[in-house]
Amino acid sequence: MFITIEGVEGSGKSTQLLRLSERLRRLGLPLVVSKEPGGTPLGRELRRLLLEPHASGDAWCPDSELLLFYADRAQHLYAVIRPALAAKQVVLVDRFEDSSRAYQGASGVPDASLDRLSDLVLKGLRPDLTVILDVDPEVSLQRVEVRNLSLGTEFAETRFDHAALAFHRQVRERFLQIARSHPDRVALVPARDPVEQVEAAIWARVAPKLRHAGFEVS
Ligand code: TYD
């Protein structure tokens, strides 16, 4: 059972991922929790290269950025995701391919390039369920700002947090488009509601999938 969770920055993804993983652990399910970029030791190097501004001021061009995200994904699939799925574990991943389609797509990478890399790297593997937390970026970016202020900006800032609101609006549109195109795989969950309500909405989509796959969930 392969579950991914997606959404724009500040959508409450980390909180919900934590709550879902704690619930799955309490139920005693064999669970692997991971994230992209940076789900492996080498991937964490790529994560740093991708997300931290470089001292020289140099920045990745869209194609390089795309290839690095897929290099991270290939390694993650090879070292973590495929072995865990082969061992019949529940694999819960914070961001996966839909993030590339949403973010790199919004940066101008054509769908045809994304399709080619997906064929190469995913080799037909798709999540059984993808939860997309949907929220207006105007609201979610404010949350990110508050978080940055409370954490101290030197730790919390990433290059992506600085991108314009217009970019995040495009990212959200792409997530919505993905949800429309894959209604069987994707659960679109409004993320502005109180945390418990969002958690319940996610569980309402996850539990039947787990039951269907033969896992015991109450
Ligand atoms: P992360 O710190 O994980 O942010 P969040 O808490 O919002 O998940 O940062 C991941 C960033 O990388 C986020 O801005 C989205 C971006 N990203 C892509 O652009 N493409 C991808 O394929 C992935 C996996 C992430």
Distance in Å, CA 192 to ligand 1 centroid: 20
Residue 160: its pLDDT value, please?
54
Contact 209, 23 (CB under 8 A): no
pLDDT in tens, the chain (218 residues): 999 999 998 889 999 999 999 999 999 999 999 999 999 999 999 999 999 988 999 999 999 999 999 999 999 999 999 999 999 999 999 999 999 999 999 999 999 999 999 999 999 999 999 999 999 998 888 877 777 777 665 545 555 555 578 899 999 999 999 999 999 999 999 999 999 999 999 999 999 999 999 998 97
Distance in Å, CA 218 to ligand 1 centroid: 32
Does the predicted TM-score (pTM) go above 0.85? yes
Q: How many Å apart are CA 68 and CA 49, to the nearest integer?
A: 9
Residues within 6 Å of ligand 1 by CB: 9, 13-14, 36-37, 51, 69, 95, 99-100, 103-104, 158, 160
Ligand 1 nearest-atom number relative to CA 96: 24
Domain definitions of the chain by residue range: 2-212
Distance in Å, CA 160 to ligand 1 centroid: 8
First-last CA distance in the chain: 17
Residue 141: its pLDDT value, please?
81
Residue nearest to atom 4 of ligand 1 (CA): 9
Ligand 1 nearest-atom number relative to CA 159: 14
Distance in Å, CA 36 to ligand 1 centroid: 7
Q: Which fold has domain 2-212?
A: Rossmann fold (3.40.50)
Phi, psi of 213 (to 5 degrees): -85, 0
Mutate to test the pocket of ligand 1, among 103, 113, 118, 130 (most ligand atoms within 8 A of CB): 103
Can you count the helices (H) and strands (E) in the chain? 11, 5
Q: How many Å apart are CA 159 and CA 108, to the nearest integer?
A: 17
Position 73: which residue type?
A: R
